[in-house]
Amino acid sequence: MKRLLQLLPAFACVLYCLPALAQQTVTGRITDDKNAPLQGVNVVQQNTTNGTSTASDGSFSLLLLSGSPSNLEISMVGFTKQTVPYQGSALSITLVPSSGSLEEVVVVGYGTQRKSTLTGAVSSVKGTELAKTQAIDIGTALQGQAAGVNVTSPTGAPGTNAVVRIRGIGSLNNNEPLYVIDGIQVNSGLTTISPNDIESLEILKDASAAAIYGARASNGVILVTTKSGKAGKNTITVDASLGLANAMGLPKMVSTSQFIELQNEAFANDGSTNRNNDNAANLPNTDWLDVLFRQAITQRYSLAFAGGTDKTRYFISGNYVNQDGTIEYSNFKRYGLRSNVTSDVKSWLRIGENLNFTYESNQYIGASGDGGRPGALPGVVRYALIRPNAIPVYDPATGLLTDLPPAGLYQNSNLYGDGKNPLAIAQYRNRTADRYRILGNVFAEIRPIKDIRLRTSLGVDFNILEQQAYNGQIPGDRTIMNPNDKGVDKYRHRQSALTWTNTANYNHVFNGVHDISVLAGTEYVKEITDYLSGFRSGFDTRTDDNPSLQFLDYGTGTQGVGGTKQESALMSYFGRIGYAYDNRYLLSATLRADQSSRFSKANRTGYFPSASVGWNIMRESFMKDIGMFSELKLRGSWGKLGNQQIGNYPFATIYSTNNGVLTVATQGNPDVKWEETEQTDIGLDGAMMSGRIRFSIDWYKRNSSDILIQLPVSYTNGDAAPPYVNGAAMTNKGWDISVNYNKQTQSGFSWDLTANVTTLSNKVTSLYKTKDQLISAGNGQILLKPGEAIGSFYGYTTAGIFQNAAEVTNYVNKDGDLYQPVAKPGDVRFADINGDGVIDDKDRGIIGHGLPELLYSLNATVRYKQFDLTLFFNGVTGNDIYNEVDNIINSFDSRGFNTKLDFYDTRWHGDGTSTTTPRATFLDGNNNRRTSDRYVEDGSYLRLRNAMIGYNLSSKMMGRAGFTQARIYASVQNLFTITGYKGFDPELYTNDNLANYGDLGVGIDMGTYPPSRTITFGVQLSF
């Protein structure tokens, strides 16, 4: 029926066009509104496939088919389409760019929307901006690009995911936003997506935008649209860059002679007659940080083919990244291949596919935390920090890497600690994790009648994760392993996530003013992870230095296998209705019903509604005379979102038969239900000075309730993991402000400045049974307490240093009792906070906050003729860091560990020598090192994240070389950081020790893989 209709004009043509049978060639030139020639414009004879595209000077020539209308359809992305009648003479056509940014189309959940009709808070980031950052993963690339989004690169290790938090922290569990890549839900492995492959990112921040994703949306949603081909332009693009990275922020440690001096001072302070009588001049003075760190090279290459015709578009690309870490033996490699094709096979049917193959290999070392968490690798950075300079890298007797201090060098080697050689750990205890991934979808879209679009899409995210590790003899190590102590561990996890989405869209404008859109859809998501692992012991000495023998098969000792499966499924129904009156008054409402396998039958279904309104004020007649604004829109939204990112079976009590005994592994709770977040948002978007200034301001409030908590329970009830309980509530509120200024001058200068400011205020409003919870990471402690923000540090408050014996004896309560009877001059004075006359654990309180209150960024680009310069700053303020690693290296550690020069310079060593840092002591009867505000520091920083200068070859030169675009650039990442923080890096998140506790450990620094200053040179060519 439809095809019949399409045939009719052709018949009409046959009837009416007969006189024009003679063939004609039409020529012309197409320019933009500034009279610059446009290359690659599609010129197609109406109702035919007969077409061409313009050359670099904007000219075209087309032989018209007889029997068809001689009208030409002129189109190009970013410009308004025109239909031009050919009347015999050469054509001169001016294309007008599609109007300003409010007419941009924005990707929203299950569709797109004109930006002018948007009522939700959505931030869009262009792929080009992401690529500029030189980041390897999209999370890091997103840093500072959008208001309301807090991105932290928790470590400088290659291949680590950045931490992305949208509008604060609403859960005690998983706070990762939902990532939807080309319509497919993705839970992990964002490092596999190259920022170069991204067309745009949309961040759905408020409930009205995100609620269409219902149960998974409470942490916000990030929609990733990858690049695709464009009709009429066949391009080849080559990118290559080389980066040189050096670790930054490394602390200075004491020399061997200062180390010995401190120890002897400590013996004297303790009243001991022992001394370290070694002569520093005869001992090594090894800079362990220097030994461990290196200059590292990052190489990146990508090649892309893109193009297509009106009906079929394609994009094929490949990329390769090889990033060495600044710590020896750490490396990240990624090989990626992408292709997508869409084709309008019929006028009513469009089909397409989008496939992404990646292989990723990450050789990593333990670098965050102290290796205290089960399964964590020993932290080499911590080992480098604690190892005294007096220990040589290689044992002079054997030539092997040292382990314990070589006994022959010292009068008493016990004084130099028992830490491991970080280089040996990095070399012999690294791991390689491989990930093979297929991510993609196929879809079909049908337009059975005008205004209705039906779409079905089947997406898959298929991963194989593999790791194999050999635990063998470290040459020179204190422990001699016999064959049965050595072993190979291997695991292979197979994860698949299938997303099947069906949507129906209806869109119609009635009477020219009533714009109605309706979306209805269903979605089924199934995730399966299949685990398989094996180990074997019994490896001979040959195996230790022969990687080709480090396989399960070569072992002769005991062996074991393991395997299980985890599954979850989500069945959803959703809909959205939008109404716009005259583009002036906007209404939108969504509803999603989710059924999740993660909850028991009674609690399985959750409903997540949202409603929003918008008012395009500039379309009101009374605003006509007010010339200040060119665009102004007020938005408001409310909605309810869910979070189901917890274990798969929280309802079931699970028993373990590991170790040949039956124990309760996890307590279940059949009453567990969704976490819910209600979010309110009020926003104002506008443009001033004919679009030169654009701004967007949002105020938001998120109330999260029924938060699932599974916190450390008392060991008095045994070892089983406690059940999840819907117990806590939290509030996040703040402002997102984004302002852009852009200007072009006649002289060829153009400016583009974007500033983002985000404020954040987080508060835990209630807890299960109103019981405060305390979580420890090393010496650092976090208190979770109603009325306080998440990440509140807990500990004693110090009140200076006792300068002399009189100060100790004068520190008494009202009854005259000594507050600190065992204290000696040089010890820390602690405050009696509750005033009960004793200093005990009741005097602990909140001594700092790990979450920042304000985040800001400035992205400035200046172009002049062929040159461009980009400066990108970001910063945070209002947060503290608990410098846990300073509890060892800045406190004089009795274990014979190394000390920061800072301690040497600032320590108490006599009346009046220090009011901040206590004396050196082996015994520390006063417990100077207890958790206290001594280790809390201001975590604010401002960082020049990226400075880039680029040069674009002029079109003349390019024409000669056959390029359409050629650019060379140089950039420096992390050129400088302004901070008062004395640890490695103020930019940190939680630590490896608390990896199981979500965001609770935010701000505790246990020593991380430091960030690096990287200089990158690159070239981009298109032809």
Residues 660-699 touching other proteins, rule: CB under 8 A, are 660-665, 668
The residues in 28-47 that bind other proteins, with binding defined as CB under 8 A, are none
Q: Does 770 bind other proteins (CB under 8 A)?
A: no
- The yes or no reply on residue 468 touching other proteins (CB under 8 A) is no
Three-class secondary structure of residue 678 per DSSP: strand
Among 25, 89, 548, 714, binds other proteins (CB under 8 A): 714
3-state secondary structure of 925: coil
Choose one: 173-181, 188-196, 327-335, 774-782; the region binding other proteins (CB under 8 A): 774-782
Label the pairing between strands 178-181 and 221-226: parallel
252 touching other proteins, by CB under 8 A: no
Interface stretch with other proteins, choices 290-298, 472-480, 761-769, 849-857 (CB under 8 A): 472-480
Q: According to CB under 8 A, which one of 311, 373, 909, 982 is a site residue for other proteins?
A: 373
- Binding other proteins (rule: CB under 8 A), the pick from 896, 986, 1003, 1011 is 896
Select from 341, 438, 532, 569 the one that contacts other proteins (CB under 8 A). 569
- Residue 991 tokens read as 């630590």
Residue 904 φ/ψ, nearest 5 degrees? -55, -40
SS3 209: helix
- Touching other proteins, residues 528-557 (CB under 8 A): 537
Contacts of 803 (CB under 8 A, 6+ apart): 825, 908, 911, 912, 915
- Kindly tell me which residue out of 126, 252, 508, 565 binds other proteins, with binding defined by CB under 8 A: 565
Is there binding between residue 897 and other proteins (CB under 8 A)? Answer: yes
- Output 99 or 663, the one with its CB closest to other proteins: 663
Task: Select the residue interacting with other proteins from 39, 285, 456, 496 (CB under 8 A).
Answer: 456
42 near 57, Cβ under 8 Å?
Answer: no
Compute the distance between CA of residue 850 and CA of residue 448 in angstroms, rounded to an integer. Answer: 55
Q: State the minimum distance, in angstroms, from the CB of residue 407 to other proteins.
A: 8
Question: CB of residue 545 vs other proteins: minimum separation in angstroms?
Answer: 20
Q: Is 8 exposed, middle or buried (0-12, 13-18, 19+ CB in 10 A)?
A: exposed
C-alpha 302 chain-centroid distance? 22
CB environment 571-583: b (16+ within 10 A), e (fewer): bbebbbbbebeeb
375 contacts other proteins (rule: CB under 8 A): yes
Closer of 66 and 272 to other proteins (Cβ): 272
Torsion angle, CA of 414/418/424/426, rounded to 10 degrees? -150
Rounded to the nearest whole angstrom, what is the least distance from the CB of residue 648 to other proteins in the complex? 7
Closest CA to 380 of 324, 332, 424, 331: 424
Count of C-beta atoms within a 10 Å radius of residue 375: 7
Helix (H, G, I), strand (E, B), or coil: what is residue 351?
Answer: strand
Q: What's the number of CA atoms in the CB half-sphere (13 Å) around residue 157?
A: 26
d(CA 282, CA 410): 9
Piece of 45-53, 177-185, 895-903, 908-916 that binds other proteins (CB under 8 A) = 895-903
Site string for other proteins, 632-651 (x = CB under 8 A): ----------------xx--
Determine which residue in the list 251, 318, 372, 837 makes contact with other proteins, applying CB under 8 A: 372
Site string for other proteins, 478-507 (x = CB under 8 A): xxx-xxxx--------------x-x-----
Rounded CA gap, 361 and 433, in Å?
6
Residue 494: name the closest of 518, 517, 465 by CA: 465
Select the residue interacting with other proteins from 117, 134, 356, 413 (CB under 8 A): 413
Question: Is residue 656 part of the contact set for other proteins (CB under 8 A)?
Answer: yes
Convert 856-875 to b/e letters by CB count within 10 Å (16 or more is b): bbbbebebeeeebebbbbbb
Per-residue binder mask for other proteins (CB under 8 A), 851-890, x = binder: ----------------------------------------
Site map 273..292 versus other proteins, x via CB under 8 A = -x------------------
Pairing of strands 452-471, 431-446: antiparallel
**Which residue lies nearer to other proteins by CB, 244 or 654?**
654
Is 893 a binder of other proteins (CB under 8 A)? Answer: yes
Whose Cβ is closer to other proteins: residue 334's or residue 934's?
934
* Exposed/middle/buried for residue 23 (C-beta within 10 Å: 0-12, 13-18, 19+): exposed
Q: Is 602 in the site for other proteins (CB under 8 A)?
A: no
Residue 471 binds other proteins, judged by CB under 8 A: no
Among the listed ranges 166-174, 182-190, 403-411, 758-766, the one in contact with other proteins (CB under 8 A) is 403-411
Supply the minimum distance, in Å, between the C-beta of residue 457 and other proteins. Answer: 12
- Tell me whether residue 645 or residue 977 sits nearer to other proteins (CB atom): 645
